[in-house]
Chains A and B, each alone.
Chain A
């Protein structure tokens, strides 16, 4: 079995047993990068030299028995909105094209402490604003399953890199679906944890009350291992939650007998592609066969999540992005005479159209006379949405539905109509408003060979239930550990034997 067919945790097992050297894994990954990166463009920045230096260090610590965790020696990709000390961090924006942070994001620090080897920074929608990775200043990323298609977004580079074998696992961030949707489009596992589970320190903020960092991986076991590594209370992030139950790999293989799963009828309405609906229903059947109890219900308020989200996220973004002004770091316009002109030219030249669109909207909804009507109204609707989920979770252990209404659109199709693009977030966005955990698991392919994902949503702090169900789903759908879509394996028929 080639190194590339291994999952991240399988790879680490073999590295720790001495079977494979860390540098060999880098050789393998950089081999794929050489072959595919010029077409796919998953990365904004690759740092081969630093990766090999780190690899040598990690190898020594593994040999010395200091690194014993499930990610030791695993090559990782990091979304380019997570600060990496000494490696430029651009948010795929011109305004940060030369920004080299002096500090690591807390999640990056934790990964490196566990022996992960970071090989590069992945492409994304500029400042995580977008669903296709097409708003990047550094060019589009292509979907490894169909290179005329987008990888999804905003963590498109991370999802594509995992799917293409250009890394073994990646970190992304999810503000309205930015991990789950690209995971779905690229046929990998992606998880957004409960708000507060992973420190946001060093994550360049888009919508602070919605942003969470999470894993993009080849399979559910890897996902659990990565989440377990990066989840921790961080005194540097006031919104970080002190949780005791972050041993996500424990009990992963437990069955789902008796697990109550709610399927929202309102997630299967107009706009949902037939093939996607069928694949998601099939995934639900898999869980039912394995003992889960399915029930359809009405979640309600689904249509209101998007307008509430865009109001809140844009408002927060308009404020979060004020610091990019050409004074302390990043791009400064070359041509200015006075202060305010410098601000305006720097920002107008440094930000792309989608970012400007959201900054303008956000500034407007917070401005004098509109704050109550728009911003506070959206926060009230958010409270209603949270309540609707609370009610659902009184009856169900988790909610199952599609991740996105369609499979990956073609490149260039989405940006022309922003609202239509925003509508693509309809199944993922409410999760962020309510701070819930959710996971996207591959569950099939459309006729064109593009992956379809199924989403499992849990109540706050119920990641373990989600991972367990996701693991059973994965097994039931006939995917085995390490059989990412990279090796060309197809989904089998529903398997009836238990794992």
Chain B
């Protein structure tokens, strides 16, 4: 049995977090009614012309610098010509000859240690519209809301050898880009998409085998399955003495099989040429320096700082910094309430539990750091007890309510007026002589019954600690 090595390169498309499209002033907001975010430019109307969104260059440059790329300081846009209904001009404005960034790398960690994955280039381009298949009429419908949303395509070198490395690479890219704020990188929503170029070769040989390109990979799990599936398919072909055909294949994650996307009507000849409607982009040294100096603290540095500043467990640090959104939330909440351990605790326990329950990602957390800090401060001040705090948090998690207002509106504030409470407890003491007697006879547990009665009488709003103390005073 021959041993095969898998050689994998990735083309990763990332939708940038700009407010507007790459070449027009239409909104990039996700999920609008069909064609409501369109104009003559992004529907390819005759006579319309593209004008480049400056922020796209800023983001692309930031990602390039964060991934150790060199910059083509003089870069240009080219037209990639092919007919498809989601592509309104029937050419996509992209970059072939002079992409903005090139020759970079990222370091990845896997179970076999750390490794460098090369980045061949990063280029800017426009996204296509969406095709919806209408089963009733056997036709397709085109929505151009996504047409012209800015993308960067990050093309790796064929440096990966396993699904594990691929996932580690994607995770790394995702973190870098999220930390930069350049994209939310959601695979499910398509704001991060990966095409896998894969070939196999006999172990020990240098020459690359024929590769295929796999598309339609919507999750890390699908990517891992597709890699294993395609590797097996190619090895089987070679084992049968057949050869692998260079082609694009579409992965069907339900059937766990890929299908060749072929059409006799398509010659893969994109006739790239510089777009005469756009001027070149010149990125001077000052611009690069400015973007470089504005680069945020990335994960490794952040982890080190957390160890230094917050004294929270290593596990917490890893989870929190694993999501830029969560890290931002953590830091902002700590800045208000100065309780890193408590903030971390709310994130590690209640937040993760609710995320898991609802099958959400940390990026989907909607409550604000102000509200989390407020909740912690109220609990610290004894204004609410811990069970009320959990109840309020659950509502906050769903709707980002202001905890203070919610507690007031629902009358959840602890009954902490000592005078009032004392009178109530005195009454409980006098109604329960047996428990009082038990306690005085050394049965410490008996006080628990009295506390329970007090909590019942206050609908859980009394601070159990305070109740305990007052009882002890009354019975001493």
Contacts and interface: CB of A to CB of B under 8 A. Distances in A.
Given A105-B47, A237-B49, A322 B277 contact: no
Interface string A96-107: 100101110100
Contacts of B51: 235-238
Interface residues of B, number: 30
Contact of A371 (B46, B88, B263, B273): B273
B321 interface: no
Nearest to A127: B46
B265 interface: yes
Interface in A294-339: 315-316, 318-319, 322-325, 327-329, 339
A138 interface: no
B49 A328 contact: no
B273 A101 contact: no
A328 B83 CA distance: 13
Contact of A205 (B43, B47, B142): B47
Contact of B45 (A319, A328, A340, A375): A328
Contacts of B249: none
A448 B138 CA distance: 63
A390 B252 CA distance: 60
Contacts of B278: 238
A172 to B, nearest CB: 15
B46 A339 contact: no
A18 B278 CA distance: 46
B50 interface: yes
B91 A319 contact: yes
B48 A363 contact: no
Interface of B: 40, 43-52, 79, 81, 83, 85, 88-91, 142, 263, 265, 269, 271-273, 276-279
Interface stretch (A145-153, A196-204, A269-277): A196-204
A376 B51 CA distance: 25
Contacts of A322: 81, 83, 89-91
Contacts of B273: 315-316, 319, 366, 371, 375
A38 interface: no
Contact of A319 (B81, B85, B142): B81
A145 B276 CA distance: 38
Contacts of A340: 83, 263, 265
Contacts of A89: 46
Given A238-B49, A238-B52, A343 B83 contact: yes
Given A238-B279, A328-B43, A201 B83 contact: no
Contacts of B91: 319, 322
A209 interface: yes
Contact of A368 (B45, B49, B90, B269): B269
Given A208-B277, A238-B279, A367-B271, A202 B47 contact: yes
Interface residues of A, number: 44
Given A238-B51, A322-B81, 15 more contacts: A83-B46, A99-B46, A205-B47, A208-B276, A239-B279, A316-B273, A318-B271, A319-B273, A322-B89, A323-B46, A323-B88, A323-B89, A329-B45, A340-B83, A366-B81
Nearest to A325: B90
29 contacts: A82-B47, A83-B47, A89-B46, A91-B46, A101-B46, A103-B40, A103-B45, A103-B47, A200-B49, A203-B47, A209-B276, A236-B49, A238-B52, A238-B278, A316-B273, A316-B276, A319-B91, A319-B271, A322-B83, A322-B90, A322-B91, A323-B46, A323-B89, A325-B90, A339-B85, A340-B83, A366-B81, A366-B273, A368-B269
Nearest to A312: B276
A170 to B, nearest CB: 18
A89 B46 CA distance: 10
Contacts of A209: 276
A101 B45 contact: yes
Contacts of A239: 276-277, 279
A76 to B, nearest CB: 18
A83 B83 CA distance: 24
B interface majority secondary structure? loop
Nearest to B140: A339
Nearest to A211: B276
B83 A325 contact: yes
Contacts of A103: 40, 45, 47-48
Nearest to A240: B49
Contact of B48 (A201, A315, A324, A375): A201
A96 to B, nearest CB: 7
A200, A201, A322, A375 — which one has the most chain B CB atoms within 10 A of its CB? A322
Contacts of B272: 366, 371
B265 to A, nearest CB: 4
Contact of A323 (B90, B263, B279): B90
Interface string A21-61: 00000000000000000000000000000000000000000
Nearest to B273: A366
A204 B46 contact: yes
A434 to B, nearest CB: 15
Contacts of B43: 328
Nearest to A322: B90
B46 A96 contact: yes
Contact of B44 (A207, A328, A363, A368): A328
A200 B50 CA distance: 11
B44 A323 contact: yes
Given A239-B277, A325-B83, A101 B269 contact: no
Interface in A101-117: 101-103, 105
Interface string A212-244: 000000000000000000000001111100000
Contacts of B263: 340
Contacts of A96: 46
Contacts of A205: 46-47, 277
A101 B277 contact: no
A325 B279 CA distance: 27
B82 to A, nearest CB: 9
B81, B142, B273 — which one has the most chain A CB atoms within 10 A of its CB? B273
Nearest to B46: A204
A386 to B, nearest CB: 15
Contact of B50 (A91, A238, A375): A238
Contacts of A201: 47-49
A375 B78 CA distance: 14
B49, B263, B279 — which one has the most chain A CB atoms within 10 A of its CB? B49
Interface in A144-170: none
Contacts of A343: 83
Contacts of B271: 318-319, 363, 366-368, 371
